[in-house]
Chain A
Amino acid sequence: MADVSFPPVSFDTHPSRYVHWVLSVEGAVATMTMRVQEDRPMWPGYELKLNSYDLSVDIELADAVQRLRFEHPEVRAVVVTGGYDKIFCAGANIRMLASSTHAFKVNFCKFTNETRCGIEDATTNSGQTWIAALNGTASGGGYELAEACQEIYLIDDGNSAVSLPEVPLLGVLPGTGGLTRLTDKRKVRRDMADLFCTKAEGFKARDAVKYRFVDGSFTRSKWAEGVKARAAAIVAAATPREATGFALPPVLPETTADGFAYRSVKVQIDPVARTAALTILAPTEAPSVGADTWSLRAWRELDDALLRLRFNYLDIGLVTVRAVGEAEAVLAHDVALDDGSWFATEVRFFQARVLRRLDNMAKSLFSILEPGNAFAGSLFEVVLASDRSYMLADDDGANRVRVTAASGGRFPMASGLSRLQARYPGTPELGVRVLCEDNWIDAARAEKLELVTATPDAIDWDDEVRIAVEERISLSPDALTGMEQNLRFGGPETCDNKIFGRLTAWQNWIFQRPNAVGERGALKMFGAPERAVFDYRRT
C-alpha cells in the first residue's frame, strides 16, 4: 500500500452484506460468528489467513455491536465465536500491518479499540453481555477481542490456546488493550502475565483457566452445550427487555463541491489550509422514537464524519466545529431522552460514545461559537471536547450557549469524568456553578465562568480566529497530537483511557522503531525468509 493512496474507507455495511461475519439472533441470545474470507481483504496485497482481520473485518464487527443495541434491544447475551475448526482468530493480519503506513496502523488500532470498548459499553450499560466462545486458538488480537468480552471460554481439545505472541514473534505489543485488560480487567498476576506475553504459543485450557486468562473451558463434546448453557444462564440472570428494535438505515454522505455532507452534518475541506469545517445542524423536527430522530440520526452522521476525517483526510490537521440552528430544539431532543425508555438509554450511551470518538481525534479541534449557534445541552459537550473554543462577544448578547444537566455526567469521558469535571481540575466549584446556571450564557458570562477559551469582539473576531487557526496548523503535527492527547485526558487513569494512552505512548513508539519496522525489524521480517536483527540497546 503506497503512502495514503488507498481508496477512501466507507464504514457503511449491513449484516446482509457482511463478508467476514455471520450475525444470528435467537431469542435473547445473539451469535457473532467470525468466518473471515481469506481472499477478500480490504485491499489487495495480503490474504486474511487463519481468521485474521483487517479494517474491513472490524468495520463489520463495529456495525454489529452498534446494531445489536438498536435493532435487537431484547438481546441479553452475545456469543462471539469462530466459524472455522480449530481456530478462533489469529488477530490483526500481519502482512497487512507490515505493509501499512504508520498513520493507517494507528487509525486502525484506534478504531479497533473503540469497537472493543463499545463491546464493554454494551455489556456494562445495556446489559448485552458479550461472551467469547473460543472454539480454537485465539492469538494476538483474537485474544484481545476475547478480553473485551465479559467472559471467555476456551475449548479444551489439547491443542487450542490463548496467546499474545506479539512480543516474541513480531517485536511489537498487543496494541488493542491486550496488556491493560490482563492486569486491570482480568486481574491476572503481573508475573503470570509476563510469562504469558513472552510465550508465543500461549496457554492451553488448563493453565489458561488456572491463571484466569479465561473463565472456563469445555471439552469438544461438551463445547456447544457448555457455551449455550452459559449464554442461557446470563440471559436468565439479566433483566429482560421486552422491546422491539428497529432497523438502522445506512448513513452515507453526499459528496459536495468542497467536502461531504449528511442531512444534519456537513464537512467542508480546505486542502490548502489543511483544515476542515464541521457543521452540525440543530434539529428542525420534533423528537420521535426511531432511527430518524435527530438525537440518533445526526449523531450517527457525526460519528461517520469523524471516522472519515480520520481515515480519508490525513492531511487535515485542524477541524473547526460549529453548531447551527435552534438551540431550543436541541434541548427539546435532549429532554425527550429523559424518559428512561430503552431507546432513550441507548441513544444517550451512543452519544457518549460519539463524544469519546471525538476526544480521540488526532486533529486539533476548535469550536467556533457565533450568533445563532446551537451549542446547548448535548451539543455543548462538543465545545467541552474541543482543544480551544472561540466565542464572539456580540453587543446584544444574542450569542449564547446553554449548559444543562446533560453535562453533569451523561457523557463520561474515558476517564470516567464528565467533560465539565475535566475542564476545571483546579476549580471544581466552577463546574458546579456552570451546572447550576440553568439559563442562557452569553459571551461575557462564559468568559467569567471560564467556559470558553477566548471571547473576541466583532472587530477582532475574524483576525483572532484566522490567526489562531493558521498558527496552529503550522506546528508539528506529531507534537500537536501528543500535546492534545496529554491535555485532553487529565484526571484519573481507567482501563479505557489506559488502553488508548498506552497505544499512543508505547505501541506507536515501538511501531516506529527500527527493531520493528527497520529493514531487518521483527514486524518487517515476519513471514520473510530472513530473521529479525535487533539493536539490543535498551531505551
Chain B
Amino acid sequence: MSINYDERIPNNVNLSSDKRLQRALETWQPAFLDWWKDVGPVGFQADDIYLRTAVSTAPGGWAQFGYTKMPDYRWGIFLSAPEEDRRIPSGDHAGEPVWQEVPGEYRNSLRRIIVTQADTEPASVEQQRWLGQTAPSLYDMRNLFQVNVEEGRHLWAMVYLLQAYFGKDGRDEADDLLARRSGDADKPRILDAFNQPCPDWLTFFCFTCFTDRDGKYQLGALAQSGFDPLSRTCNFMLIEEAHHLSVGEGGVERVLRRAAQLAKQDPNGDARNQGGIPVAMIQKWINYWFCYSIDLFGSEISTNAADFFAAGLKGRWNEAKDYTEHTALNQSYTLPMVKNGALTEGDVPLRNAMNDVLRQSYIKDTERVVKRWNQALEEEGSDERITLPNSRFFRRQGIYANLPFNPQGELITQAEFDAKISGWLPSDADRAYVTSLMTPCTAPGEMANWIAAPRKGIHGNPVEFEYVRHV
C-alpha cells in the first residue's frame, strides 16, 4: 500500500523523507483504521461531522474546522516548535542540553512511560464508543467525536515516538496498543480507570473533566522531560487536551444548571421529579471519577517516581516556571500516613513523593473547576453545592488504598464505611436511573431535558447548527 504521506498525514516531522518511519506507519496505519472501525464510535462513521483538524503548528493551524467523515480524519503528527538551546529542566541532569535521541540508559523507562500514557488514548475511545447513540444533542455528539478523533491523534503522537525512537521494541509496543481493549477480560488496558465502563453522558463529562485532567498533568510532567521529542509532543497535545477538559467541565456544569432549574420548577424542589439528575446524584459521579482519576497519579511514595525525576524523564507541573530548585534533593515531603490505625504525619524524601506533588497540582486545578460549578449553581438560585472528596477517600492505589476513609478524609470503621458507601458513590439504582434518561436528541438545536443548552456553539456557529450531518 502506497501512501502520499504529507497529504494523508499532516505532520511536521519530515515524514515524507523518513523511510524508517514510513515503513513503520505503512503497517500501523491500516491497523489503526481497522481498530477505529472495530472499536471506535458505533454508528455515524459515514456521517459528516463538523470537526477541527490540526494541520500545522502555526498559529491557527491546529484548528481547521470543516465537515469530515471520521475514518477520513487526517490524524497528524505534530511536535511543538523546538525551543532553542533547551536544557533538561530537572533531576540529576538539570541544566545539561536536552536529548534529541533516547539515552540507552533510560530507554526502558522512557518506553514504559510513553506506552502507559499512549495506552490511555485508544482506551478512552473504546470506553466511549456507544455514547453517540444517546447523545443529548448534536452539539454534544460532535464534541464527543472531536474528543474521540483527538484521542486517536494523541495515540498517533505517542506511536510516532515509539516508532521513531525505540526500534523494533517500539514497533511491537505500537502494535500492542491496538491489541489491548478497554474492559476486556483478556487484554485489558493498563490502567484501571481506563477499563471502567462509560455507559452514560454524565460519566462521559466526569471522565473528560477528571480523568482527562490527569492526562493534562501527566503530559505537563512529560513536557518537562529531558527527552526533547517527548517534551515537544506533549506540549502540542496539551493544547488539544485543554479542549477535552472544557467539554467535561462545561458538560457537568450544564447538568448542574439543569438540575437547579428543574428543582426550582418542581413543587417539591426535586429535580428528579422533573426528569433531571439531582445535584446530590451528580456529586456521587464526581466522587467516583475524582477518586479513580487521582489513583492514576500512582502511589504517594514511589521508587519509580523518584527514578523518573532523578533521570530527568519527568518533571513537576510547570517545573521550569514554578520552581527555582530543580534537583529536589535533600528535601522532604510531609504526608499523612496511617500508622497503628490512626493518621499521623510522616516525612518522605521529596523525589519519592513526586507522584503526590503532581496529584496536588491536579487537585488545586480541580478545586477551581468545582468553584466555577458552584458559581453556576448560585447563578441558578440553588443552595446546593458540589464538594471534592478528600484525596484519601475510595482509593484503589497508593498508601490509602482500600482503607475506610470518608469523603472528608477521616478514617472510619469498615462497618461505617460499608454502611455509607451507597450515599457517596453511584448505586446500581442511581446508575439505572441515569441510564434511563439517556435517549438521543438528533434534531439540530434539540437538547435533552436533563441538560442545559450551552451558552454558545462551536467556532462561531449557533448551538442549533447541524454539527452532525446524517448521510
Contacts and interface: CB of A to CB of B under 8 A. Distances in A.
Interface residues of B, number: 22
A201 B112 contact: yes
In this complex, which of A157, A158, A220, A530 has the most chain B Cβ atoms within 10 angstroms of its Cβ?
A158
7 contacts: A158-B188, A220-B186, A526-B303, A529-B306, A529-B329, A529-B352, A530-B92
Contacts of B187: 157-158, 219
Contacts of B198: none
Nearest to A200: B108
A199 B329 CA distance: 28
A528 B112 contact: no
Contacts of A221: 185-186
B186 A527 contact: no
A156 interface: yes
B350 interface: yes
Given A158-B187, A201-B112, A526-B303, A531 B349 contact: no
A168 interface: yes
Given A529-B310, A530-B310, A531-B307, A159 B190 contact: yes
Interface residues of A, number: 18
B190 to A, nearest CB: 6
B interface SS class: helix
Given A158-B179, A528-B306, A168 B188 contact: no
B112 A530 contact: no
* Dominant secondary structure at the A interface: loop
A526 B304 CA distance: 10
10 tightest Cβ-Cβ pairs between the two chains A and B: A529-B351, A219-B186, A529-B349, A527-B303, A158-B187, A221-B185, A158-B180, A220-B186, A220-B185, A529-B306
Contacts of B190: 158-159
Contact of A529 (B108, B186, B328): B328
Contacts of B311: 531
A401 B351 CA distance: 66
B379 interface: no
Interface string B30-68: 000000000000000000000000000000000000000
A528 B302 CA distance: 9
A526 B179 CA distance: 33
B176 interface: yes
Contacts of A156: 186
Interface in B98-142: 108, 112
Give the most central of A156, A159, A168, A526: most B CB within 10 Å. Answer: A159
Contacts of B306: 527-529
Given A157-B186, A529-B350, A530-B351, 17 more contacts: A158-B176, A158-B179, A158-B186, A158-B188, A159-B188, A168-B108, A201-B108, A201-B112, A219-B186, A220-B186, A220-B188, A528-B349, A529-B329, A529-B351, A529-B352, A530-B310, A531-B307
A526 B352 CA distance: 11
B311 to A, nearest CB: 7
Contacts of B179: 158
Nearest to B108: A200
Interface of B: 92, 108, 112, 176, 179-180, 185-188, 190, 303, 306-307, 310-311, 328-329, 349-352
A157 B188 contact: yes
A200 B169 CA distance: 14
A37 to B, nearest CB: 13
B329 A530 contact: yes
A527 B352 contact: yes
Interface string A392-425: 0000000000000000000000000000000000
Contacts of A529: 306, 310, 328-329, 349-352
Contacts of A157: 186-188
Interface string A65-87: 00000000000000000000000
Contact of B108 (A199, A219, A526, A531): A199
Contacts of A220: 185-186, 188
A181 to B, nearest CB: 24
A159 B192 CA distance: 12
B359 to A, nearest CB: 18
Contacts of A201: 108, 112
Nearest to A199: B108
B455 to A, nearest CB: 42
Nearest to B91: A531
A398 B92 CA distance: 75
Contacts of A530: 92, 310, 329, 351
A93 to B, nearest CB: 13
Interface in A217-244: 219-222
A94 to B, nearest CB: 9
Interface in A138-190: 156-159, 168
Nearest to A533: B92
Contacts of A526: 303
Interface string A202-221: 00000000000000000111
A221 B187 CA distance: 10
A229 to B, nearest CB: 17
Nearest to A207: B172
A219 B303 CA distance: 30
A454 B350 CA distance: 65
A307 to B, nearest CB: 32
A295 B185 CA distance: 51
A311 B92 CA distance: 40
B306 to A, nearest CB: 5
A483 B180 CA distance: 55
B403 to A, nearest CB: 12
A45 to B, nearest CB: 14
A130 B186 CA distance: 25
A430 B108 CA distance: 58
Contacts of B186: 156-158, 219-222
Nearest to A165: B108
B301 to A, nearest CB: 9
A221 B188 CA distance: 11
A199 B111 CA distance: 12
Interface in A483-539: 526-531
B179 to A, nearest CB: 7
